[in-house]
Structure 1
């Protein structure tokens, strides 16, 4: 089972839990899909889009649970990134990690399967 990851403000994730599904961030909704990263892509995603941000969760998702709505498409440097065209069903979530922010603005990434 491949695992993909979503970085999300804790407050937005708690709202998704109340709603029963996650429809994505403002950037996701603008782009028409929910952006995810693989474990190896995660450091670059955090640096580019979340540097210095606090109060973040890292959501681990079973990619197989997302079906045909999950597409692998070129993004940074042509590398294929997972994009979900639709809402994230919370039943696909395998684990939620609290991302700690270091004093330099980077984040402590838990040990994740690649």
Structure 2
């Protein structure tokens, strides 16, 4: 299981089209994903204080091809990258992802 955070609006749009895409797919060639233990790092860095985020819980076996584990920018961690749209049927759960009072994000409870 891997995770991707996005806005609830973006997820609603994906449900209408059948596939989820992120801007990074066009600009970098892949969709950034994370494990439950690391998703708070990019969420805090990129979306601090946002209150409209959800976590997509993705079953890797339902993707057209497996994610590639590659180094994250500015960190020694490897992150799963999905090289193509994520089919809606690969998302097995969607979780609200509210920030902490200081605007940062914590590892999601119950998924780590």
Contact in 1 for aligned 2:25/2:84 (Cα 8 Å): no
Contact in 2 for aligned 1:54/1:100 (Cα 8 Å): yes
Instruction: Tell me which of 19, 22, 26 is aligned to 1:21.
Output: 19
Higher strand share: 1
Gaps of 5+ in 1: none
Q: How big is the alpha-carbon RMSD for the aligned residues of Structure 1 and Structure 2?
A: 1.7
Per-residue deviation, residues 22-46 of structure 1 (Å, max 9, x unmatched): 111x234211100000011112122
Residue matched to 1:64 = 61
Residue matched to 1:8 = 6
Contact in 1 for aligned 2:18/2:88 (Cα 8 Å): yes
CA distance in 2, matches of 1:27, 1:6: 12
Contact in 2 for aligned 1:56/1:100 (Cα 8 Å): yes
Instruction: Tell me which of 42, 45, 53 is aligned to 1:45.
Output: 42
TM-score (norm. length: structure 2): 0.87
Higher helix share: 1
Per-residue deviation, residues 22-73 of structure 1 (Å, max 9, x unmatched): 111x234211100000011112122111111111111100112225352111
